[in-house]
Structure 1
Amino acid sequence: MLDQVEKRLRGLLNDEHRRWRTADARGAGVVESLAELVAVGADRVRPVILLTGYLAAGGDADGTAAVEAAAALELLDTCTLIRSDVRDNAALRRGIPALHVSRAAEHERNGWAGDARRFGESTATLAGDLALSLGDRLAARLPAPAWQIWDEMRVERVIGTYAHEAMAAEYLDDPWPGRCISGCDRGCAAGWYALRHPLRLGAALADRPDLDTAYDAYARSLHAAWRLRGFLDGGPEYDWDAELLREILLEREERGIAERLIRELVDRASRTAAAARLTPGWCEELTAFAVRMAAERG
């Protein structure tokens, strides 16, 4: 099914490029930029989670709706990454220059009019708009229950990201994932939309609304474990304030307590999967996925 998702993404972007190369050669440039970024996103994390939720719910492996939804989800994620890179002024994305950086460099090389940085940011944002439009085009064909989850996810993702940015601006952004552990809140911009919504979307596409509660509980526990692992191990999202907090809070004993909490959260997610009525073999798959997500990074 992932091969079909790749084929769908390539075909969609190739068709758009062919269309605009004839109608507007300059317009084709934004399609090229988007296609390059999509092509290097080899992990396809969110499509994998959606398809896992779909197949675990008994979905048909030959079903086209799940492929459409997975491709739409990858485009939505690409839009989010582009806009996040512009906000954060990130230099790299997926091992290549971030889109706003490469477009700004193109502006400078050609000696074009205006400010290169502003050109890079505005054209990258337009590429994000294009990704979102194409994702919505695919999602528009989904069955009504799945489209409702898609629509909910789109809105909550914007509100959650805004809340995260506002909290950071107000010096209220706490790198310690306490809210995730005590019960996920929608103001968190990381992980939540990568787990809960794709799983629920997969269940809806498999016509299994009875799994909504189980997938929600699984995602909450695993999200908390993943966020706690990120805090302990560090990474791009955890800058100097998180490093300082780790040094203050995490002596050897406290780190051991945090590691036990991660294991408890993973066990809770695994028990939730075991209690759900899933296709044989997929409970073990969800358990293994939870272990991988929360594993200590080398």
Structure 2
Amino acid sequence: MSTTRSAASADVRTAREHLVRGAEQRIHRLLAAEVAKWSSLGHGSTDLVAAVQRMMDAGGKRLRPAFCVAGYLAAGGDPERADEIVDAAAAVELLHVFALIHDDVLDNSPVRRGVETIHVTYGREHQDRGLTGDPRRYGEGVAILAGDLSHAYADGLAARLPAAAREVWAELRAEMIVGQFMDVRAAAESLMDTGLARWIAVCKSGHYTIHRPLALGAAVAGRTDLDELFRRYGTWVGEAFQLRDDLIDLTGDSAVTGKPTGQDTAGYKMTLLLTLAAERDHRVRDLVRRPGRDRPAAADLHTLLRESGVAVQVEHLIGELVGKASALLHDAPLPPPWRAELIEMAHHVAYRDR
């Protein structure tokens, strides 16, 4: 029996991975066509496309396409008639590229996926070539436009999807952007509120990483009736995903993650880690509220967070969230191999190291 279950799990994983690779190939073909389209103009006319391609080439976990494809296959979608789900999964990954490029500008991050971020590259190019204007504004401008272009490509792919899937797509985009705005606003206003911190984690990351990609895939397969199941599963697993991100930023190894550790603390992000620590320790509250928020204060804050013990509390919450998501799937109206696969995927995203 266990051998049968193992073979079934391998089959569903192979089918998922095959379609995710198809989505990657779809993106690369699209970007190659765009380079050919714009190259005749010269004057760096393909630089924005190249920036999107560079982000794709840098790797990444491809979690959102994986959950999108999983939603489709778990809902009974035909792996042999996969054009629409490949487009959907490619759109989700291109939207993620858009979000990453803009996020790097918002956070002033120097490195992403182990390579220099786009705004840094073009800011330095501006300076090296002695161009007119402010190098930083130029670099950020190029990055914003590259992100916008990736978003446009994503929308172009999503426009081909069935009407029900396009509705999910619209919600996915709006939630992610509003959640990102609330993240920025909470940091600017020093809103040390644990409830808000958890809402932001779900809205800016959880829904668009887990819930909506699953629902998008299911909608492509014609199974909008699974949305409530995927909403509950995706909200729990999505929050666990973001909380793991927060822990990685606090204690992770930048050589493994491909980005600097401590970026959230340096940006005074009102994560659950920080808001829980603020409830316990007046020194954390005082540092967050300190005028100017200089680098020494951020370094002290990072040390306090590491020593506060809140990481253990957040780790426990991650376990609770994954446990609830796994229990939900035991009696879910899905094929047994997909119940097992989604449980495995929940553990993977919640307990990763990068």
Please, which runs of 5 or more residues in structure 1 have no aligned partner? none
What are the equivalent positions in structure 2 for 1:168-207 lying under 5 Å apart? 168-173=187-192, 180=198, 184=199, 188-207=203-222
Mapped pair 1:288 → 2:344: yes
**Partner of 1:154 in structure 2?**
173
- Please tell me whether residue 276 in structure 1 is matched to residue 291 in structure 2: no
1:43 maps to amino acid: K
- Cα 1:245/1:206, change in 2 over 3 Å: same
Matched residue, 1:248 = 308
> How far apart, CA to CA, are the structure 2 residues paired with 1:36 and 1:71?
16
Work out the CA distance in 1 between the residues paired with 2:128 and 2:157: 36
Deviation at 1:145, TM superposition (A): 0.2
The structure-2 alpha-carbon separation of the partners of 1:262 and 1:26, relative to structure 1 and needing over 3 Å to count, comes to closer
Q: CA deviation at 1:141?
A: 0.5
2:87 corresponds, among 51, 57, 68, to 68
User: Please, what is the CA RMSD of the aligned residues?
Assistant: 2.4
In structure 2, the CA distance between the partners of 1:148 and 1:201, relative to structure 1 (3 Å rule), is: same
- State which drifts further: 257-266 or 146-155: 257-266
Amino acid at match of 2:87: E
The structure 2 residue matched to 1:87, chosen from 106, 128, 144, is 106
Among 112, 116, 119, which residue is 2:131 paired with?
112
Q: Structure 1's 111 and 80: CA in aligned 2 closer, same or farther, altered over 3 A?
A: same
- The question of whether the paired residues in 1 share the 8 Å contact of 2:322 and 2:350 is answered with yes
Counterpart in the other structure of 1:138: 157
TM-superposed CA distance for 1:26, in Å, is 2.5
Match of 1:264 in 2: 320
Task: State the match for 2:237 in structure 1.
Answer: 222
Task: Give the percent of matched residue pairs that are identical in Structure 1 and Structure 2.
Answer: 39
Report how far residue 139 of structure 1 moved: 0.6
Aligned residue for 1:21? 39
Deviations 1:175-215 (A, max 9, x none): x67853xxx56874233321111111111111111111111
Q: Determine helix, strand or coil for the equivalent of 1:103.
A: helix
* Long gaps (5+) in structure 2: 1-18, 253-260, 269-273, 275-301
| Greater shift in the superposed pair: 9-18 or 38-47 | 38-47
Q: CA, structure 1 residues 120+258, in 2 after alignment: closer, same or farther (shift >3 Å)?
A: closer
| CA deviation string 1:212-232 (max 9, x = no partner) | 111111112222333444455
The amino acid across from 1:274 in the alignment is: H
The question of whether the paired residues in 2 share the 8 Å contact of 1:55 and 1:279 is answered with no
Contact 2:123–2:135 at 8 Å: present in 1 too? yes
Number of residue pairs matched?
290
1:99 Cα offset (Å): 0.3
Tell me which amino acid in the other structure corresponds to 2:27. L
- 3-state SS of paired residue (1:43): coil
Provide the rounded CA distance (Å) in 2 between the counterparts of 1:179 and 1:28.
Answer: 39
Following superposition, the deviation at residue 296 of structure 1 comes to 6.7
Cα offset, 1:297, TM superposition:
4.0
Change (3 A) 1:60 1:291: same
Contact 2:182 2:200 in 1 (8 A): no
Aligned to 1:57: 75
Q: CA separation in 2, counterparts of 1:186 and 1:134?
A: 26
1:245-291 deviations in whole A, cap 9, x for unaligned? 453354xxx93x65444333212101212222113311111111112
